[in-house]
Amino acid sequence: MRVVAVCVAAAVAVGGVVPVASAVDAGPEADLAYHGAAAMASGRVEVRFTPRNHGPSAVPDATVRLRWSEPLANRQVLPGGCARSGARVVLCRVGALAADGVGEEIGLRVRLRGEPSEVLLEIDTVWSAGVVDRNRENDRQRVLVLDTGDTYYF
């Protein structure tokens, strides 16, 4: 017992902390990412992006949130798998993603209220069926889209 106490004391002196095994399993881990493009003209925004899972585990299902800095028009025609979730938010089902796999492209067109000269689009994962994503940098995108008809890539 004294040997264990000396080893723990040495580890604290050298590293400052002693790593302790977690009592709760955090579950499988994956690394989701979204890359695509957005364009806006006359208050209409077109967004297309492809989800990817860099692994190491598969994701049985996921949902992505698209949030605009400007409110959406009241009436929207959204593709299957997408639903409105507030004045500025649309949720879209990503579906299952194999480890190190690419998902189906998601594309939608929305109309903003009025015709703003720019809109900030934020994309992020809101649900991943219990799979943990420790690298949240690449599944969160922020894109400033100007009302020029130009395409902005992310």
Q: Which residues pair with 110 in a beta bridge?
A: 45
Instruction: Return the H-helix or E-strand segment holding 40.
Output: strand 32-41
- For residues 33 and 75, what is the distance between their CA atoms, to the nearest angstrom? 29
CB contact at 8 A, 53 and 32: yes
Interior CA angle at 77 toward 71 and 61, to 5°?
A: 90
| pTM (two decimals) | 0.81
> Would you state the pLDDT for residue 31?
97
> Would you state the pLDDT for residue 19?
32
Averages of pLDDT over runs of 10 residues in the chain (154 residues) are 36 35 65 97 98 97 98 97 98 98 98 97 96 92 98 97
